Amino acid sequence: MKRFLPYAAASVLLSSCSIMGPAFTGLLSDPAPVGVSTPVGVSSQAGRRYTPAEDPATGLYGYINDLGMWTIPPRFESVQSFGSHGMARVRLGGRYGAIDPSGQFVIPAVFSSSSDASAAMQSIVKGRMTGLELWAQEDSATGLYGYLDHYGRWAIAPQFRRASAFNRNLAVVQVSDGRWGAIDLRGAMVVQPRFNSSSDARVAVQRLNR
């Protein structure tokens, strides 16, 4: 009989990470409500619990019930316990996302930072409008940076060589010729990319924010 080892939940960090991206695709409307309000570790089916566990045969993680049976099969590289909001952060393919108690992704595994994935979860829980909070992310296909919304979708397409976190609705970015400027939440260039360093661009942004 296989033995399942509980996996300790990682602490949730709510910070924004460094970022990237191409042309702006526009502010996106929120999908239909995900309807995840399950208490910690318990689904709507009586007695069906969700305890993080490792499959020793594969080294992958999933969730088991009180009988030691898989309720969500082991297919993740790491998992967290379900929160009171009914979501759990998981890692798949080296990237982080969030699932509901059915094992379906609420946030696809697209975040390279676990803290950004956690912040995106909190943004969903708080009902924030899509586009008001974005996270810089590298596009693995192109190596360029753009910005993801809290559902893991590109709000500002990957087009930048480097990108930073938004601060007061502005973010410093590096364009294709190596120059630095700053964009707003819609991806519009507010500070034109004419600076040779990110620090000079940040000074310009600070002046705008005064």
> What would the pLDDT profile of 101-155 be if each residue is shown by its tens digit?
999 999 999 999 999 999 999 999 988 777 789 999 999 999 999 999 999 999 9
Asked if 39 contacts 46 with a C-beta cutoff of 8 angstroms, the reply is: no
User: CA–CA separation, 54 vs 77, rounded Å?
Assistant: 9
pTM for this prediction = 0.73
Question: For the chain, which residues make up each domain, given as ranges?
Answer: 12-29+39-166
Q: How far apart are CA 106 and CA 111, in angstroms?
A: 13
